[in-house]
Structure 1
Amino acid sequence: MEFPKDKQIILFDGVCNYCNDTINKIIEADTKDIFRFVAIQSQTGQEIIKYIGMNPNIDSIVLYKPGYAYYVKSEAIFKIVNQLKGFTLLKILSIFPSSLANLGYNFFAKNRYNWYGKKDACMIPTPEIKAKFL
């Protein structure tokens, strides 16, 4: 499978309202055009998950750096926000060890649908941001 080698790929929960809002904020803050995006539930998302050897039922954000490494949960979030302007609180929280940060991540992830709801299908990007999606 071919991936853009000069871009990092963020795999996200495409039906989660909170996740979609967050992806829109990342797109807005990605002024250096670092990232590409794909919903984990999509065919392309599942192909990437399989390619990197992860469980296809993963319920986490994933940051994949083609040819280099991948990160999940809080580690993925911290790697993402540390490359962007803003997101100050998350950058401060990155001082915590992954094991502790993942406790908070897991609690939030477990409750995100109850707090923010979910869509019946993955979001459809606007024409302006469609090029950022795989």
Structure 2
Amino acid sequence: MKPCFSDARPRWIPQAAPGWTDHLILFDGVCVLCTSWTRFIIRRDEAGRFRFVSIQSPQGRRLAEVFGIDPDNPQTNAAILDGVAYFKSDAALMVMRHLRGVRWTRVLTLVPRGLRDKLYDLIARNRYAWFGRDEACLLPTPELAARLLDRSQQEGSP
């Protein structure tokens, strides 16, 4: 499957994501930090807008491959908001704009992306060593399970 990005532009800049479910977050389902991040979002997402898909699922692998993310060694998460896919620190900051109690973080977008992403990359490279890794995707809580995309919800998406 050919990635949506052009090799001529930087790889992890926001890009169009037409046809994909809006308010969708692709996350590493075996990463303890990443699953904690999804629970953090759920607790603060008063409108219940965000949905999640694990990169280890068939739908998650497909989405990752479309955006050039290695599903076996993900370098970034992704968040699709208003038809645009965001990656690395942009993804986290764009999601937080919609969450109760952390909207103030939008000021962090004033920090150049290159600096923000260096910190993101440091954490991403060490996430399993620092926070842990599960051998399989964690069993979701009922609240998380209700917001995970299943095969029927993803049918028809590119």
Pairwise TM-score range, normalised by the shorter structure: 0.7 to 0.9
**Would the aligned equivalents of 1:13 and 1:59 in 2 still touch at CA under 8 Å?**
no
1:21-62 alpha-carbon deviations (Å, 9 max, x no partner): 111010111111121001112111012223x44234332110
Q: 1:123, CA displacement in angstroms?
A: 1.8
Aligned to 2:50: 35
Question: Could you tell me whether the CA contact under 8 Å between 2:69 and 2:75 is conserved in 1?
Answer: no
Distance between the aligned counterparts of 1:27 and 1:128, measured in 2?
Answer: 8
Residues 1:46 and 2:49 aligned together: no
Counterpart in the other structure of 2:89: 74
Q: Any stretches of 5+ residues in structure 1 without a counterpart?
A: none
CA contact (8 A) 2:29 2:137 kept: yes
Q: Which of residues 96, 105, 128 is equivalent to 2:120? A: 105
Query: TM-score, normalising length from structure 1?
Result: 0.84
Aligned CA RMSD, in angstroms, stands at 2.0
* Higher radius of gyration, 1 or 2: 2
Count of residues in Structure 1 that have an aligned counterpart in Structure 2: 129
Aligned CA distance change for structure 1 residues 90 and 15 (closer, same or farther; 3 Å): farther
Equivalent runs, 1:1-134 vs 2, <5 Å: 3-4=20-21, 7-50=22-65, 52-57=66-71, 58-65=74-81, 68-87=83-102, 90-134=105-149
Q: What TM-score, normalized by structure 2, do the two folds share?
A: 0.72
> What corresponds to 2:12 in structure 1?
none
SS at the partner of 1:128?
A: helix
Structure 2 gap segments, 5+ residues each: 1-18, 150-158
**Counterpart Cα distance in 1 of 2:67 and 2:108:** 28
Distance 2:54 2:100 in 1: 23
Q: Work out the percentage of aligned pairs sharing the same amino acid.
A: 33
